[in-house]
Structure 1
């Protein structure tokens, strides 16, 4: 009986955090994880050329936000897929490739080696990574033209999955 009660308490301690909205911080500074169906919130990051970019700059257009690094094998596999799909319809959506792990030179070398034409952004202080509660790479967010989060995917995306997610933000094949 004691084992049963103890097992229940331990199980609840493990399960309970996953049943409540994710938050970080303490007191009034709590931050909620982005939720599907709600606005994702604005941010400002720096492009490789030094230009500042805000998510709100792309209001009215579907946006894919991808967190990546050049050392990440799944990231290296999915980037050519992103570029191929983006090249087919660059006027229909934008990809913001956010690198929270590496400096400008490393990110630029990788982008050039793969031939990426969409914006590469640096999250040097990992503020955006924290804001969106990114825990692993690659992580991709799909935001509709109104700035509402419609989907999130952790892990490598192949072409089929990528286009399926794009459909959720209004980009049709």
Structure 2
């Protein structure tokens, strides 16, 4: 399998954020990986979302079919479903306006999108409490890919997302190729690299 070199993001100090029931802890370690193997993509510096319950399954996993998602704008109005993004490899990036790693990662993801948008989709889903916070974030940090509001945090709860950013790489048929906890340096990736994540689960994904 082709080697991939990822430069993982550095956070200079340990940060603590309390956002309602969300508690975030950011490590200060500098970590790097050199290969993409069966373990898939790796990352550091996620914002941890704590939970008091024990989960028998850590949410959606590689090889699962991504459920059809209702996609809402920041006013809480339904704009369609995730079915409209089938047909291409799609990156679903769950983040929040108060998440420092998200602010670092999204410009890199935006550049990756602009370089490869004929081959892949990028969709941002923000788990903020209010659409106003999401609007403010994207006014200050304009991106070219579409973004949606996780109304009532329904998706993040249903998917058991406990860190942000969390990213799902989905094949053109809706199968999860990879789930990534934490921010990635997308400048080290090409669209063709995502094709190598295809698992032998009947997936027919590919970058044409």
Which moved further from structure 2: 82-91 or 97-106? 97-106
Report the alpha carbon displacement of residue 91 of structure 1 after superposing the two structures with TM: 2.1
Tell me the TM-score normalized by structure 2.
0.62
Which moved further from structure 2: 79-88 or 46-55? 46-55
- Asked if 2 retains the 8 angstrom alpha-carbon contact of 1:66 and 1:138, the reply is yes
Judging by fraction of residues, say which structure has more helix: 1
Report the alpha carbon displacement of residue 102 of structure 1 after superposing the two structures with TM: 3.6
Tell me the equivalent position of 2:194. Answer: 166
Determine whether 1:38 maps to 2:67: no
1:77-156 to 2 correspondence within 5 Å? 77-156=104-183
Determine whether 1:47 maps to 2:82: no
Tell me the equivalent position of 1:5. Answer: none
2:57 to 22, 33, 36: 22
Report the alpha carbon displacement of residue 166 of structure 1 after superposing the two structures with TM: 2.9
Tell me the TM-score normalized by structure 1.
0.73
- Asked if 2 retains the 8 angstrom alpha-carbon contact of 1:68 and 1:137, the reply is yes
Distance 1:57 1:114 in 2: 25
Structure 1 unaligned residues grouped into runs of 5+: 1-16, 24-32
Distance 1:81 1:113 in 2: 15
Report the alpha carbon displacement of residue 162 of structure 1 after superposing the two structures with TM: 5.2
Instruction: Map Cα deviations across residues 5-64 of structure 1 (whole Å, 9 max, x no partner).
Output: xxxxxxxxxxxx88xx517xxxxxxxxx32212211111021247451311111111111
Q: 1:103 to 1:166 in 2, by over 3 A?
A: farther
- Asked if 2 retains the 8 angstrom alpha-carbon contact of 1:47 and 1:53, the reply is no
Distance 1:133 1:47 in 2: 22
SS of the residue aligned with 2:136? helix
Report the alpha carbon displacement of residue 163 of structure 1 after superposing the two structures with TM: 4.2
Aligned length: 145
Structure 2 unaligned residues grouped into runs of 5+: 1-53, 199-205
Distance 1:45 1:36 in 2: 22
Report the alpha carbon displacement of residue 138 of structure 1 after superposing the two structures with TM: 0.7
Determine whether 1:61 maps to 2:88: yes
